[in-house]
Chain A
Amino acid sequence: MKEKLSPACKVDSSPSPPIKTSLDKQSASQQFCRPAFTQKFRESTGGNVWWTIFTLLMIATVSVRFYKLRYPEQVCWDETHFGRHANQYLQRTFFFDVHPPLGKMLVALFGYLDGYDGSFWFEVGKKYGDASYMGMRIGCAIMGALVVPLCFLTIWEMTASLPASTFTALCLIFDNSLVVLNRFILLDPMMLFFISATVFSMAHFNKQKRSFSFLWWFWLSSTGIFMAGSFSVKFVGLFLVFLVGLRAIYDLWIILGDMSRPVTYTVKHFLARALCLIALPVALYVAIFYVHLRILHLGGEEDEFYSSAFQVSLKGNMFHNSTGPREVAYGAVIRVKNNVLEGQYLHSHRQLYPVGARQQQITTVYIRDPNNRWFIKRHNQSSPLWNATDPIDLVRNGDLIRIEHRTTGRNLHVHRGPAPISNKMYQVTGYGVRGEGNDDDFWRLEIEGAAEGEVLEIVRHSFRLVSPNNKCVLTSTTKNLPEWGFGSAEVACNPKMHDDRAYWHIDDNRYPRLPNVSYTIYELSFLERFIESHKNMFMGNAGFRPKISDFQSRPWMWPINFRGQFFSVEGVVIYLLGNPIIWWGHCLCFLLYFLLWIVNAVIEKRAVNIAEKQLDLQRRTLNTCKWLFIGFLCHYVPFWPMARILYFHHYFPALLFSNMISGMMLNYILETFSEKISPKFYTYFVSGLLLVFFYSFYLFTPITYGYPNRPSQYNDSQMYGMKWISSWEF
């Protein structure tokens, strides 16, 4: 009975609006049960009180996280991406994305379990209608909700302090932004789950007394497994590796210092960690990719991002059942493609350049078109035709060649005038009549990584074309030409020879005298496909560059809750914004942490005499916070120098650590003063804190759950007057 009327009782009443009642209950129950319970709460080491509070917290989590989950019944924000990817998994169509596959696979799995067939076309703002989307949302919400117990248990494991764990959990439960993030089909809740699970396992692992026991192995490998999960969802999860790695190095350092054990003991520890924290995660990651590539075996719309050899293994793709001569002979009709991500075809058409030399345009295009066909000739040949009686003359590495556009009969030509857009490069034109031209049409074929005289093969070989006269290399600059270029992109000759965009390959070859072979011989092994996928992902990620003076979310804005992010669809305003009280509280806790850190360091250095108990509390708090703070830094600092476009939601992994530090700090404050103040006051303080958390959460619920609402400048809006900072945009 006493326990039921505890301050923590307030938690279960929190999801329901009547705060008034909870206040009443509290005041009514104060006189008799408080101090005893307070004491138990402070010093709990398990048992009933612990379970009561844990249960209440779980009830609160579930009610806050799953409330109105079905609503809004439209596709919101990035649901469109992840929903589409789930579709593609369910329909086995290949796609290109910059994130690793685990998160999207899980989304697809949730949909599959719910009986979703992958036929709904996701588009922002579109009503779901009778598509079964709840499975995916519930799956994400469950993973997001699990973060609360995991963080609670982490702090419990690290400090065995129930108040600290409770405060951490409360900060997480009543944070509006986490609620918003958990409500949709997004990858973030999954990543947060994996991160908190890793930290949880790590905390357990560090508590193990007996090395190499079963539990020791269990928690070590679960750390590795969850870590693999986190970076298989998003590459941002890789920052977690720093934390885990630093902790492992630190542990090894401690073990090494133990002179009672031989060095081999440290080596054993090292090998165990290398196995569970390096080999195991890498193996899992590769395995996930293997599954990914096995599931997606049908060609789709985004195949063009990948090389021709990659596309061969996609069913339904043009290359899948294709045939053609393997080797290239003089006189063959070829199609040349650039090697970069989403490479384009070398192209020409009858129109002339309006700038520079008024000669025929040479460009690159995405589409396949008869104008992409070229004859390959010896440099001293003007006609591409061959006699059936001549021996077959194969193109070899290092040959001087000429390339003639099939439909117009002009040679690929370069001269030392500036290219139309990249004016540091030379202009490439189509020149000559019916293959007649001059020696500026000569190109030396340089096959990458091949010996002199090796025969040029299609698909497999990538090569550069170097103009010996002008000392430059044929490059696709990928810059779009103005209107006169019909939307195609510029081709130029770069005097700077080290250019990544100067590599080309042939993906189509027609020559009747050589036997056609099936393209299946070019099929890539899993490892090659794995490597190529990663190359493309990194290039894609690097391509996310902000446009100048676009509004950019920068890391300094995040901790101070400077600005949120819209999740709205028509008619519903949902705004990803942290609970300002909690977030600004985090900032204060950080300040307190720094202060404590400095004070403690000086105290230790100057050997100042303070109470043993206080010193012990300080040391324990700082030791725990040290690793949490390193975790925070690992997930926050790397964003500062990033040139890539950043979003508010990148902050949330760091926020988890910030929450835990806040929990520790609140506990520290209360413990420090608990001797000086009455237990009664302690109780008031805790309940007051609880109320503040809940009430501030309640204030911002309209934009969290998306109640039908009007913009905040109108005074009949529920958010009227809630725009505390002018940079919030609801």
Chain B
Amino acid sequence: MGDTEVKHRKVNRNKNKNEKNKEIPNPAVDPRDEGDGESTPEALPEELTEEPILKKSTSPKKSEKKQRNAGKAGTATAGQSLADLPTLAVTCHFNLLPMLLFGVALATRFYALDQPNSIVFDELHYGRYAGLYQKQTFFFDSHPPLGKQLLALAGYLGGFQGDFKFDKIGSSYNASVPVFAMRAVPALTGSLLIPLVYMIMLQLNYSQWTAALAGFLFLFDNALLTQSHYMLMEPIILFFAMSGVLCVLKFRALERSGNAQAHSYSLRWWGWLLSGSIFLTCALCVKYVGVYSYLLGLALVGHDFWEKVLGNLSLTKKQVFGHAVARFFAFFVVPLMVYIGVFYIHLTTLVNAGPHDSAMSSAFQASLEGGLSSIVRGQPLEVVHGSQVTLRHAHGSPCWLHSHAANYPVKYADKRGSSHQQQVTCYVAKDINNWWIVKRPNRTDLAVAAPLDRISHGEEIQLVHGITGRNLNSHNVAAPASPTKQEVSCYVDHNVSMPAQDVWRVEITNREEIGDVWHALESMVRLIHVNTSVALAFSGRMLPDWGHNQHEIVGDVMVNQPNTIFNVEEHRYTRNEDEKDRQLELMTTDFIPLEPVVMGFWEKFFELQIRMLFISNENVQNHMYTSSPWEWLVLTRGIAYWVSPDSNAQIHLLGNIFIWYSATIALAAYCGLLIFYLLRQRRQCYDIHEEAWNQFRTTGEVLLLGYVFHFLPYFFVDHTLFLHHYLPALAFKLLLNAALVEHLYYLTRLIFAKQFFNWMCVLIVLTWMSGILMVFNKFLPLCYGLGPMNATQILDLKLRETWDFIVHKP
């Protein structure tokens, strides 16, 4: 039925252009006149059609404009008499709506900003990192550092010394922590988000009322408010992402305007292009998920390039090439520079050793002040016959080659037999049993004497365990936890015709950089078992109780794998107790590197990248507040951020359920409409005006695509997920929601001729908005942690069974 009606009112795009123009009154005020100068000259019909209703509300603007005109007129008349003097006049005009929204945003975001004065949720991490920046202490985190740097900067300006110990969620801050200053970063970026989305909607050719509606949705979403109120990363990343999207849209507008040629390479053109890519890269530098915003920007710019530049046959090959190079520069070279720059600051600031050092390689650690460098400074560089060393497994989580005075059990639990020789393991802590002595097979004395007997690549050695004096050995016996690999033991002669096979060949894998001689710290070595050609390897499995739950060490046929690489970490020369002692000491001093290990920025940068991207396995298992992407659509679960020790007052991350549900419905409605239009257009039925369709399509390109980019990947990751991971996608969804409201309004105008229905529409939207406000207000205590609250008040808020609020007081 509705179908026929629409058909009846089908718009004929080709013939009725004039008629259409007649139907639509000429605009009295184009809202975009006030704002920015970049918007396209031609006005859009659906915007115009709103005019009759908007008239009343836009009156302040109108009067403003009148005043402006009056002002102009005034100067003009004055100028009559003093025609030869230059006019001195400042004409300024404000767009009141975004100002108002921004004001409310600031008020909500900054309200009671330093309350609660204790650690809320992930402030535990981010606050701690900000503190470590003050102390210039190195830390390892799997996210890039920009957001933490901003927090640290705010902390620095607020006088934070980094002395506070962030121990657990809920402990109170003391006076040394500038809580307000640090929380001001997310609060400010979170507030700026609102004018930003306002401008984005204008840029997408929506009316200012729709833009204001988008701002309203952002403003009164409890999740965005909660997130902006504490030291968390999401508002920062959202701010950068939205700024980037806005710049890219402005850039597109230039590209798509009538005289695109004239704008090319202009200052504005470069400005929007570069700022777009820089902002998007900044989003990426706050958290890696920002990469999806970057990809969205890239897709938009790339699509325009394909259609507007490459497809523009009036451009010469050279011009096309020039455009390609400019975009490549802006979207690949500049981001790379920004990204490296952020890490440059990170690595040059953090020069002191700290708690996470062991995540990094020995050389990296040695380059930090006060950590390993204080231990290894002054230790000999070259490994020689008689060197006492600890061997660190160089890849992944740190552990050291270890043995202890206990043998492998005769029979394992799965009834396999062992050699019953002394266990060799990889131990995750520093221990006296990690020391080994490097020895040539043919020599018996162990003292280091001049001339030094250096060990080089390809030479054969034995490794003697320092405490038990037994040799590292391997043989054709299945390893305890990995039956397909070979057992490694410290040789014990049980007199069972099992000879010692304890000679190993040293292979230095990075000898192109380091040279053939085995160096402590720097040389990455593989120990190849001479009899069976297996490599000493870390298998990744744990030994059971009899092996004190240490990691298994095996002989692996697969030589060429990262698990077989070790390096010498601590190193000293064996000295004898006799008279050679002094002599040796004198001698060794010559070989001590006098300066600490210096690692260049690039080496550090690449090592950190590799560890951040591939080796970080921060996986919080069994966390109480995890949620899955499907649950985000209907807000099944929140996250408890903080609870007051005295009452049930608490902070709980929850979206404004009214907004979230309507946004989900809007998403479905948009997709339904899109499919409907596409199918109808395939049958040559054009139900809406071409401009309306273009706007609808662009909305899909930017907002729907943005939503999909930020949401779909979560279905495929194997991490523990939380509700706050959804916020970037939500931002696009809220914008889509606002856009859909305007489109529906357009449709009512198209279908129903009577004014009455338009008023109904406005009324429905207003009711919806007041509903949003009510829900927002109801859940406000959970955003600020306002109290005190009793159990019934909390349970009153529990609209869904699955929301786990904390009730620990009556």
Contact = CB atoms under 8 A, between A and B. Distances in A.
Contact of A605 (B311, B538, B804): B311
B563 A549 contact: yes
A678 interface: no
A591 interface: no
Contacts of A643: 718
B378 interface: no
Interface string B308-326: 0011010000001000000
Nearest to A638: B716
Contact of B679 (A256, A259, A483): A256
Interface in A660-697: none
B757 interface: no
Contact of B545 (A483, A498, A549, A550): A483
B622 A424 contact: yes
Given A422-B622, A547-B540, A643-B718, A256 B310 contact: no
Contact of B804 (A482, A483, A496): A496
A259 B539 contact: no
A259 B684 contact: yes
Nearest to B306: A605
Interface residues of B, number: 30
B716 A498 contact: no
B329 to A, nearest CB: 20
A23 B753 CA distance: 85
A424 B625 CA distance: 12
Contacts of B679: 256
Contacts of A549: 396, 538-541, 563
A422 B624 CA distance: 12
A452 interface: no
B311 A259 contact: no
Interface string A540-584: 000000011111000000000000000000000000000000000
Interface string A458-491: 0000000000000000000000001100000000
B439 to A, nearest CB: 28
Interface string A417-461: 000001010000000000000000000000000000000000000
B683 interface: yes
Interface in B508-526: none
B540 A550 contact: yes
Contacts of B716: 640-641
B539 to A, nearest CB: 7
B262 interface: no
A530 interface: no
Nearest to A566: B484
Given A256-B683, A496-B624, A606 B540 contact: no
Contacts of B682: 253, 256-257
A606 B310 contact: yes
Nearest to A711: B557
Nearest to A549: B540
A609 interface: no
A641 B622 contact: no
A257 B558 CA distance: 58
A554 B178 CA distance: 48
A547 B541 contact: yes
B559 A713 contact: no
Contact of B557 (A257, A495, A640, A729): A729
A605 B559 CA distance: 51
A418 to B, nearest CB: 13
Contacts of B718: 641, 643
B720 interface: no
B560 interface: yes
Contacts of A607: 313
Contact of A606 (B313, B622, B717, B802): B313
B454 to A, nearest CB: 28
B533 interface: yes
Nearest to A263: B683
Interface string A684-724: 00000000000000000000000000000100000000000
A387 interface: no
Interface in A388-436: 422, 424
Max chain A CB contacts within 10 Å: which of B538, B541, B622?
Answer: B622
A208 B724 CA distance: 52
A643 B720 CA distance: 13
A211 interface: no
Interface string A628-655: 0000000000001101000000000000
B541 A605 contact: no
A607 B538 CA distance: 59
A542 to B, nearest CB: 12
A598 to B, nearest CB: 11
A256 B675 CA distance: 13
Contacts of A548: 540, 617
Nearest to A604: B311
Contacts of B538: 549
Interface in B622-656: 622, 624
B615 to A, nearest CB: 11
Contacts of B715: 641
A213 interface: no
B310 A605 contact: yes
Contacts of A726: 559-560
A713 B533 contact: yes
Contacts of A483: 545
A279 interface: no
A727 interface: yes
A694 B244 CA distance: 56
A602 interface: yes
Nearest to B617: A548
A605 B307 CA distance: 8
A187 B542 CA distance: 34
Given A602-B310, A729-B557, A498 B802 contact: yes
B774 to A, nearest CB: 28
Nearest to B320: A606
Nearest to A257: B682
A551 B558 CA distance: 10
Contacts of A422: 622
Interface in B603-630: 617, 622, 624
Interface string A604-625: 0111000000000000000000
Contacts of B545: 482-483
A424 B306 CA distance: 55
B500 to A, nearest CB: 23
Nearest to A607: B313
A422 B715 CA distance: 27
Nearest to B625: A496
Max chain B CB contacts within 10 Å: which of A259, A482, A496, A547?
Answer: A496
Nearest to A423: B622
Contacts of B804: 496-497
Contacts of A498: 802
A686 to B, nearest CB: 37
Contacts of B311: 605-606
A643 B622 CA distance: 17
Contacts of B306: 605
Given A605-B310, A606-B320, A641-B716, 11 more contacts: A253-B682, A259-B684, A422-B622, A482-B545, A496-B804, A548-B617, A602-B310, A607-B313, A640-B716, A641-B715, A729-B558
Interface of B: 306, 310-311, 313, 320, 396, 533, 538-541, 545, 557-560, 563, 617, 622, 624, 679, 682-684, 715-718, 802, 804
Interface of A: 253, 256-257, 259, 263, 422, 424, 482-483, 495-498, 547-551, 602, 605-607, 640-641, 643, 713, 726-727, 729
Closest 4 CB pairs of A and B: A549-B540, A641-B716, A643-B718, A726-B560
26 contacts: A256-B679, A256-B682, A259-B683, A424-B622, A482-B545, A496-B804, A497-B804, A547-B540, A547-B541, A549-B539, A549-B541, A550-B540, A602-B310, A605-B310, A606-B311, A606-B313, A606-B320, A640-B716, A641-B716, A641-B718, A643-B718, A713-B533, A726-B559, A726-B560, A729-B557, A729-B558
